Structure 1
Amino acid sequence: MSRKKQKHEDHVNLERWLVSYADFITLLFVVFLILFAMSSVDAAKFQALAESFHSVKGSGASLVMPAPGSAMTQQAKVGATGQNKQKDEQKKLEEVKKKLEKYAKQKGIANNLNINMDKNGINVTVTGTILFANGDASLQPAAKAVIKDIFNIINTINNPVRIEGHTDDRPIQTPQYPSNWELSTARATNLIRYLVTDFKFDPTRLSVGAYGQYHPVVPNTNEENRAKNRRVEIMILSNEVKDQTPHSGEKASP
Structure 2
Amino acid sequence: MARKRVKIKGPSHERWLISYADFMTLMFALFVVLYGISSVNEGKYKILASSLIGVFKAPPTSSDPIQIGDVARQLPITEKRVIIKPSDIATQETSDSLKEEVSMKKIKDQLAEGFEGLLKQGVMSLEGSEDWLQITLGSEVLFSKGSSSPTRAAENIIADVAMVLGNYNNPIQIEGHTDNVPIFNKEFRSNWELSAARAASVVRQLQDEGLDPKRLAAVGYGEFQPLYDNRGADREKNRRVVLLISRSALTREALNNVRSQQP
TM-score tier by shorter-chain length is 0.5 to 0.7
The unaligned stretches of length 5 or more in structure 1 are: 1-73, 244-254
SS in 1 for 2:140: coil
Q: Compute the displacement of 1:142 (Å).
A: 1.3
Q: Compute the displacement of 1:136 (Å).
A: 1.3
Match of 2:215 in 1: 205
Match of 2:113 in 1: 102
Q: Compute the displacement of 1:120 (Å).
A: 2.3
Q: Compute the displacement of 1:112 (Å).
A: 1.5
Match of 1:148 in 2: 159
Match of 1:194 in 2: 205
SS in 2 for 1:211: strand
Q: Compute the displacement of 1:109 (Å).
A: 5.6
Query: 1:175–1:234: structure 2 CA closer, same or farther, 3 Å change rule?
Result: same
Task: Specify the code of the residue in structure 1 equivalent to 2:222.
Answer: G
Task: Specify the code of the residue in structure 1 equivalent to 2:224.
Answer: Y
Query: Which of 115, 131, 149 is 1:138 aligned to?
Result: 149
Does residue 221 of the first structure (1) align with residue 227 of the second (2)?
no
Q: Compute the displacement of 1:222 (Å).
A: 4.0
Deviation per CA, 1:216-250, whole angstroms, max 9, x where unpaired?
01112345x2232100111111226955xxxxxxx
1:1-254 aligned within 5 A: 81-107=92-118, 110-196=121-207, 198-223=208-233, 225-239=234-248, 243=252
Deviation per CA, 1:60-93, whole angstroms, max 9, x where unpaired?
xxxxxxxxxxxxxx99887655433211110110
TM-score where L is the length of structure 1: 0.60
Query: 1:180–1:77: structure 2 CA closer, same or farther, 3 Å change rule?
Result: closer
The 2-side partners of 1:199 and 1:107 are apart by 21
The 2-side partners of 1:136 and 1:75 are apart by 47
Identity percentage over the alignment? 30
Check the 8 A contact 2:171/2:249 in 1, yes or no.
Answer: no
Task: Specify the code of the residue in structure 1 equivalent to 2:245.
Answer: I
SS in 1 for 2:127: strand
What is the root-mean-square deviation in Å for CA atoms of aligned residues? 2.4
TM-score where L is the length of structure 2: 0.58
Check the 8 A contact 1:128/1:227 in 2, yes or no.
Answer: no
Task: Specify the code of the residue in structure 2 equivalent to 1:83.
Answer: T
Check the 8 A contact 1:167/1:231 in 2, yes or no.
Answer: yes
Query: 1:142–1:90: structure 2 CA closer, same or farther, 3 Å change rule?
Result: same
The unaligned stretches of length 5 or more in structure 2 are: 1-84, 253-263
Larger Rg: 2
